[in-house]
């Protein structure tokens, strides 16, 4: 049986069940929007799963056992920020995987979308704009 984008969506929905974003909406909306911002099955699977390993109890081994392609799992791991990891190191790992770069750019685009930013106070908006501008610079190879 071939693992599909629908299988990845099902895993993400189950893993993020009960989680909410900063505005109180179901968290799954974020990975679904990120998925909509990329193309190709590998990128779409990685996009919808991009926060599963980082923010839920699902592991890379769980994804592999479910039939998720190893290349997709590698991309998900590239996108998973590790505890205590410097932003520069994290983004260098992302930058090494072209699909991860595409997903991370879609992730940043969703996180900085006007509707989402409008829900935040000005200080938080300013902090996030600076954080994501720096992230985009690092993705482009800046130091």
Q: Write down the pLDDT at residue 71.
A: 98
Q: What is the pTM of this model?
A: 0.94
Long-range interactions of 128-132: CB distance < 8 A, separation 24+: 132/108
Domains of the chain and any CATH numbers: 5-140 (1.10.3210.10)
> What is residue 47's predicted lDDT score, i.e. its pLDDT?
98
Model confidence over 45-94: pLDDT tens digits?
Answer: 999 999 999 999 999 999 999 999 999 999 999 999 999 999 999 999 99
> Residues with Cβ < 8 Å from 143, sequence gap 6 or more?
88
Confidence of residue 137 (pLDDT cuts 50, 70, 90): very high
**DSSP characters over 81-93:** PPTT--HHHHHHH
What tens digit of pLDDT does each residue of 10-45 get?
999 999 999 998 778 899 999 999 999 999 999 999
For 13, the enclosing helix (H) or strand (E) is helix 5-15
Q: Residue 74: CA atoms inside 13 Å, Cβ hemisphere, count?
A: 10
143 falls in which pLDDT band (50, 70, 90)?
A: low
Q: What is the pLDDT of residue 21?
A: 86
Nearest Cα to Cα of residue 76 among 89, 64, 91, 60: 60
């Amino acid at each position: 049986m071939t693992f599909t984008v629908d299988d990845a969506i099902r895993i993400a929905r189950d893993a993020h069940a009960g989680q909410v974003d900063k505005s109180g909406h179901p968290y799954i909306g974020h990975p679904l929007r990120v998925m909509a911002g990329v193309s190709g099955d590998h990128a779409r699977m990685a996009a919808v799963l991009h926060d599963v390993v980082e923010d839920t109890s699902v592991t890379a081994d769980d994804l592999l056992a479910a039939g998720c392609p190893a290349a997709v799992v590698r991309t998900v791991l590239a996108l998973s920020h590790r505890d205590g990891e410097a932003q520069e190191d994290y983004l260098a790992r992302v930058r090494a995987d072209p699909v991860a770069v595409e997903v991370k750019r879609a992730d940043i685009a969703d996180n900085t979308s006007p509707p989402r930013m409008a829900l935040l106070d000005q200080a938080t908006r300013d902090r996030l704009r600076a954080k994501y501008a720096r992230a985009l610079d690092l993705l482009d190879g800046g130091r």
